[in-house]
Structure 1
Amino acid sequence: MERSDNRRISKHKLWITLGVIVVALLYFIRLPFYLTMPGHAITISPMVEVGADEDVKQGELMLTTISMSRNETNLVEYALGSFKDYWELYPAEELRMDGESDEEYNQRQLLLMENSKEKATYAAFTAAGQPVERILEDALISYIKPGAPAEKHLAIGDNVKAIEGEPVNDETDLSNAVTALGEGDRIRLTIERDGRERNVEVPITKGVLNDVEKPMIGVGLTMNYSVTSDPEVVIKSEEIGGPSAGLMFSLEIYSRLVDQDITRGRSIAGTGTIDFAGSVGAIGGIKQKVVAADNAGADVFFAPRSGDNFKDADATAKDIQTAMTIVPVDTLEDAIHYLEALEPVA
C-alpha cells in the first residue's frame, strides 16, 4: 500500500513539473513578433500650452494610440494576436531597424515624437499666418546598419555638420547626396564627435530600403530643430512615442492661435505625421486607432490619404459599424477646411 501511495505521489510531482515547464515555455519563449492592439483616444488640450491662452473649444481634439508589447511576444501573446479582432502581430524586422534593441527602438520613438512637436508647431503657426522660425540644431547619426560601410567610419551620436563641404539644411540632404554620387564612390562628411570636428570619407554601396535597391552608406539621421514662436508652445507628451500625433497637435495649436472652436462642439480624433510644410503622412496601426477613436465616442476621424491609410480606416469603420465620419486628408489645410465647413452643434 505504501509503495502504491509513493507511485501516486511521484506521478503527481511529475505532472506538476510538466505543468511548470509548459507554463514557462508559454510565457518565456520569445518569438520575433510584436503584438499591437487598439489603444486610447486622448484629449490633447491638457497636454498643450500656447503662451498663457485658455482653451476655447466646446468639443475636443484627440490623438489616437495603439498599445504595443514592449518586448517580443511570448507564445500566449502570439496566440491572442492570431485570433482576436484588431489585435495584430508585426514581424520585428518591420518595426526595428537591423541590429536595433528594444530599448533603442523605444528611444527612437521618443525622438520622433520630439521632432513631431516642432513640426506641428511650425505648421500650425504657418497655417494661422503667424510668424515662426526654425533652426536646424543637429543632424545626429541615430542608427548604423550592421555590416554597412558607415560602421567603420561613423558612430551613433556623431553630428553631421556638412556633406561634401555643404552645410546640412534638410533631412533629405544626405540621401540625396549619396544617390547623386552612386555606388562605388565615397561621400565626404564633416562630423562633430566629442566636441571636435573631423572629416571622414564613407564608401557608398548598394542596399535595399522599402523593397527598393538604391545607393546607401547604411545610416539613419535624426534631425533636431529648434522652433521659435511667440507665444511659446509647450507640448507635454510624456511617454507617448512616434510621429503620428503630428496632425492632431497642429490642429490643437492652430485652434489656440485663432482663438476659435474649430471642433464646432464635436469630438475630433485622428492621426498622421506632419512636416514643416503641413503635409500629412501615413502611419502604422490605423485600424486599431479607428477602433480606439470609436470606443472614445469620436464624431470625426482624420486619416492620411497616403498609402492605404484611408482605405484601411474606411474599411474598419464599416466593419465595426461606427457612426464616426472618416475624413481623408493630405494636408493640415484639408483638415482645417473640413472643420470650418461644419455647422456648430446646437
Structure 2
Amino acid sequence: MKDKKRFSLKSFLPYILIALFALVFVVRIPYYIEGPGSTENLKDFVTVDGKTDDSSGGFYLTTVGVRKATIATAIFAHFSDFNELVSKEELMGSSTNKEYEQIQKYYMDSSQNAAIEQAMKLAGVDYEMTFKGVYVLTIDEKSDFKGKIAVGDTVTGVDGKTFKSSEELVAYIKGLKVGQEVTVSFEHDGEEKEATGDLIELSTKNPGIGIGLTDHTEITSDTSVEIDAGSIGGPSAGLMFTLETYELLTNKNIRKGHEIAGTGTINSEGVVGRIGGIDKKVVTASQNGAEIFFAPDDEISEEIREENPDIKTNYEEAVEAGKKINTEMKIVPVKTVQDALDYLENLEEK
C-alpha cells in the first residue's frame, strides 16, 4: 500500500504568494487615490468658427487624477506629498457614481459657458445668454419626486408655467402649500417629460420640490465657439478656457510663445474662483514643461478663517507645492481673468 503524500506549507507557498500579490496590488478597496493628473493643450479643445489656434506657445488645463485604490497604492499615498487617499463619500458626497458623473458634466458645461461669455465680453463680440431651465444637482431623500426626476435633468416648468431664472421658480413654489400637488415639466436625456408629486416642507419651513438646483443657461452668438473637453469634468478649467477662447477671438498671440498652465473657476463677473487639488495640478504642469502657472488668489472670509485657522489661498497652496518640487515654473496669482490678461500684456516675447 502506497504512503499518502504529505502536504506541506512549502507546496502551497507559490499559491499563497500569488494570492497575497493579488490582494495587495490588484484587489480594489473602497477608497480612491487623488494625485497629479494630466496637462492638456487647449489647442486640441477649442475652435472658433471652425478654426483652431496655431499661434506659438500654448494654454493648458490641468487635472487631478482619480483612481480606485488598492492596498499598495493606499500605502504609497500615505507616504506621498501629492497623492491622497479619500473615501467615496469624501469624493462624491451622497451621490451615486452616475449622479456624480452627471454633476461633473454639468460643472464642465457651465464652466465652458461662463468662459465663452467672458471671452466674448472682453473681445467685444455680441452674444446672448438664454435660460434653458433649472438644472437638478441633488434630490432630497424625502422628495416626492425621488425616482421620478434624476440628477442631471433640467426642470423647464411647473404647472404649465415657465420661468426666466431659478429664483422665479423658487418664488412660485414658495407661494404654494406643503403637501400641494404640482406637475413638473423636465428634460431627461433630450426628451421632454412630466412628473406629478406633492411638495415637501424644506428645512427653511417653506414648501419645495426637494431638489438642489442652479440655472441652466446657454450662450448664443453669430460667432461659433466650440469647446470639447471629452471625458474631463468639473468647473476648474474656466480660467484657461477663457484665455484660449479670447486668443482665438482676437488673434493677438497673447501668450507670446510661452507655455502657460493654470486652473480656477470663472463666473459671469470674470472672478477666478478657488478649486481643489491645486498642489497636484502644480506637479503635473511642472512635469509637462509649463513655464507659467496661473493660480486663483481667492478671498477667504473671516468666518472661514475662524473655522479653519490654517487655511491657505489657492495661490499660497500652489507656491508651497512649487517649493516642495523645486520647480522653475513661475506661479502667478490672479483674482480675475483681467489680472491674467494684464500679466500677459507685460510678458516678454519668447
For normalisation by structure 1, the TM-score amounts to 0.81
Paired residues of 2:264 and 2:295 also in contact (CA < 8 A): yes
Would the alpha carbon gap of residues 171 and 205 (structure 1) be closer, same or farther in structure 2, given more than 3 Å must change?
closer
Does 2:185 match 1:192? yes
Paired residues of 1:305 and 1:329 also in contact (CA < 8 A): yes
Deviation (angstroms), 1:251: 0.3
Q: Which residue of 1 aligns with 2:327?
A: 322
Paired residues of 1:161 and 1:189 also in contact (CA < 8 A): no
Give the 3-state SS of the residue equivalent to 1:257 in structure 2: helix
Deviation (angstroms), 1:78: 1.2
State the alpha-carbon separation in 2 of the partners of residues 50 and 87 from structure 1: 37
Deviation (angstroms), 1:42: 1.5
Q: Which residue of 2 aligns with 1:340?
A: 345
Amino acid at match of 1:149: S
Question: Structure 1 vs Structure 2: percent identity of aligned residues?
Answer: 34
Q: Which residue of 2 aligns with 1:148?
A: 142
State the alpha-carbon separation in 2 of the partners of residues 76 and 215 from structure 1: 49
Would the alpha carbon gap of residues 112 and 187 (structure 1) be closer, same or farther in structure 2, given more than 3 Å must change?
farther
State the alpha-carbon separation in 2 of the partners of residues 127 and 56 from structure 1: 21
Deviation (angstroms), 1:218: 5.2
Does 2:249 match 1:257? yes
Q: Deviations over 1:278-322 (max 9, x none)?
A: 222111111010011111221211111226311111111122121
Q: Which residue of 2 aligns with 1:113?
A: 108
Deviation (angstroms), 1:155: 1.9
Give the 3-state SS of the residue equivalent to 2:131 in structure 1: strand
Amino acid at match of 1:343: E
Amino acid at match of 1:315: E
Deviation (angstroms), 1:265: 1.9
State the alpha-carbon separation in 1 of the partners of residues 336 and 180 from structure 2: 35
Paired residues of 2:133 and 2:165 also in contact (CA < 8 A): no
For structure 1, list consecutive stretches of 5 or more residues without a partner in the other structure: 208-213
Query: Match for 1:97 among 86, 93, 102?
Result: 93
Deviation (angstroms), 1:125: 0.2
State the alpha-carbon separation in 2 of the partners of residues 303 and 123 from structure 1: 18
Would the alpha carbon gap of residues 189 and 277 (structure 1) be closer, same or farther in structure 2, given more than 3 Å must change?
farther
Q: Which residue of 2 aligns with 1:211?
A: none
For structure 2, list consecutive stretches of 5 or more residues without a partner in the other structure: 301-312
Give the 3-state SS of the residue equivalent to 1:149 in structure 2: coil
State the alpha-carbon separation in 1 of the partners of residues 167 and 72 from structure 2: 42
Report the more deviating stretch, 18-27 or 84-93: 18-27
Paired residues of 1:255 and 1:262 also in contact (CA < 8 A): yes
Amino acid at match of 1:105: Y
Query: Match for 2:227 among 221, 227, 235?
Result: 235
Deviation (angstroms), 1:230: 2.7
State the alpha-carbon separation in 1 of the partners of residues 30 and 203 from structure 2: 27
Deviation (angstroms), 1:168: 4.2
Root-mean-square deviation (Å): 3.4
Query: Match for 2:75 among 79, 87, 93?
Result: 79
State the alpha-carbon separation in 1 of the partners of residues 226 and 324 from structure 2: 38
Does 2:128 match 1:133? yes
Paired residues of 2:58 and 2:260 also in contact (CA < 8 A): yes
State the alpha-carbon separation in 2 of the partners of residues 55 and 86 from structure 1: 32
Report the more deviating stretch, 18-27 or 83-92: 18-27
Would the alpha carbon gap of residues 33 and 153 (structure 1) be closer, same or farther in structure 2, given more than 3 Å must change?
closer
Q: Which residue of 1 aligns with 2:304?
A: none
For normalisation by structure 2, the TM-score amounts to 0.80
Would the alpha carbon gap of residues 259 and 219 (structure 1) be closer, same or farther in structure 2, given more than 3 Å must change?
same
Amino acid at match of 1:246: G
Paired residues of 1:59 and 1:264 also in contact (CA < 8 A): yes
Give the 3-state SS of the residue equivalent to 1:206 in structure 2: coil
State the alpha-carbon separation in 2 of the partners of residues 189 and 325 from structure 1: 55
Paired residues of 1:149 and 1:204 also in contact (CA < 8 A): no
The number of residue pairs the alignment matches comes to 329
Would the alpha carbon gap of residues 195 and 60 (structure 1) be closer, same or farther in structure 2, given more than 3 Å must change?
closer
